[in-house]
Amino acid sequence: MLFNSVEFFVFLVITYLLYRILPFRGQNIMLLIASYVFYGWWDIHLLFLIVLSTVIDFYSGAMIDSGRLSRSHRFFCSWSIVLAALAFDTIQWNAVYLTTSNFVSVQWSQLFPSALSGWLVFLGSVALVAIGNLLHPRCVALKEHKRRKFFLWVSICANLGILGFFKYSNFFIHSAQETIHALGVPVEYWHLNLILPAGISFYTFKAISYAVDLYKGKMTASYEFLNFALFWAFFPPLLAGPIDRASHLLPQLSNPRQVSFQQSAEGLFLILFGLFKKVAIADGVAGSVNAIYETAGAVSWIDVVAATFLFAIQIYCDFSGYSNIGRGVSKLFGIELMLNFDLPYISKDPSEFWRRWHISLSTWLRDYLYIPLGGNRKGELRTYQNLMTTMVLGGLWHGAAWNFILWGFYQGTLLSAYRVFTPKESKKHSEASKSQGFGNLRGIAAIVLFFIVTCYGWLLFRANSLAQVMTFTKILLADFGNFTLRMPKPPLSAMLGIPLLIGYEILESFKANRPHFNIRFDIPARAIFYATLIFILLMGTSNAPAQFIYSQF
């Protein structure tokens, strides 16, 4: 279900009205059901992965924390997996449909698969549950440090195993086949027919952070399965973040909430602003970007420059637009998600950029990868190695393609070069002056220069292949000054929306304490701004709707 769809707004209105009339526990049950409906709208079969991962992490968390889990909890976990396998992966719900008389009709012969393959997931789930229950007494009997470490790795390996299987299997199979073929050995090409679960990278990282924080003693485990399942599947950030950690989100879901008028107003503005970014700008420029990056014909220097600039706008508006909507919807339920974007394109250096762009991922990589690798505590050479490792793996997180790895290598190189050539005093001054916006002319020049550097990184990110990276890089260097523009002009909604967005963010950059949801003008000016957003948004509804870019990761 897309945020920018009619179905979502019908779904949101129904969910919100039910939320307002239900007591606290009823709210959580309803939100959990709504989250499963939201995710299952993509493909109901994928809900089994959500339930499976939820149970694994709930059980592992309890074993890491105290080593105890009640018989009723284990019974509930066991049946959750079995029934989820039956309901979401075995039963064929397309055999159930409404007749013209609005009666439910079932084609019983097609409700259950006749082939054995249709039962494999169900039988495998039953076997997994049986083995888990048989091993439970031995797991409880383990010494504390062994038990804690064992279940930490159970959680990490289970989540990374699911992620790796669905996201990277075909990438490694294809790479191995290409390597064998390059050696002159004939090979038959094949791949696995897998559906990539939407948002799998986001909820995998959320699960890993929960297990690691428990192991480090930063929090205690949740023993309320309903609250934990809601934390795992809460629908506003589920597909593309922010990657909120359990220490921040679980307490909000586990305790009664009050929704203030101010919080609702903030939420509505964030939803409006996020839709404006996505529908009017991101979807508007998508056709122009695709016309260059998906063409097989000749392109000019200005084509590459213009398409790459527009892609920088597209990916920012698409991704931050999702975060805006997700945060806004959460506010309507009295739940606060972390800020994920902080005006990243006014950054003056790579270090500042990663403090502003996809903050939930950059801080996750810092806390759970860069620092455990040693961070900057083991000498300069090891620091550069840790930076490169972190960013390359961060690039691979985005997708199973060599251009993402190259993009990660590029970002790691920028961070390492910045560390080499910038004195420590300048770094401290740069971080201290982060809230000063554009500053003087030197600051403006630094912003423009680094934006150009960032845009080349987006070329690596958007390119369809390494061959296209090389071709477009060659055009940038050898075809400089060719202004023969073949790229189609973006629609009016994007041409009006981009300057409005830039102007708004410039104003925001001059505020020391930005609210990130409103502009502090008087009521007439604010009304004009909102009306302009709505007008351009309505213009943008004629743009071809597109899936959010980061929900594919």
Residues assigned a catalytic role: 398
CA-based nearest residue to 454, from 308, 307, 253, 245: 308
CA distances to 227, 289, 315, 489 from 309, rounded to whole Å, are: 43, 9, 10, 13
Q: In the structure encoding, which two tokens stand for residue 231, read together?
A: 């934390």
CA-based nearest residue to 58, from 201, 230, 202: 230
DSSP 8-state code for residue 278: I
C-alpha distance across the termini of the chain, in Å: 16
Query: For residues 500 and 320, is the Cβ–Cβ distance under 8 A?
Result: no
Distance CA 48, CA 66 (A): 27
Residue 383 φ/ψ, nearest 5 degrees: -65, -45
Distance CA 358, CA 243 (A): 9
Query: For residues 301 and 233, is the Cβ–Cβ distance under 8 A?
Result: no
Distance CA 77, CA 35 (A): 19
Q: Which residue has the tokens 């909604």?
A: 493
∠ CA 17-21-23, nearest 5°, is 130
CB atoms within 10 A of CB 424: 8
| 3-state SS assignment for residue 342 | coil
Distance CA 246, CA 255 (A): 14
Sign, CA dihedral 200-203-205-207, equals negative
Peptide bond into 242 cis (omega under 30): yes
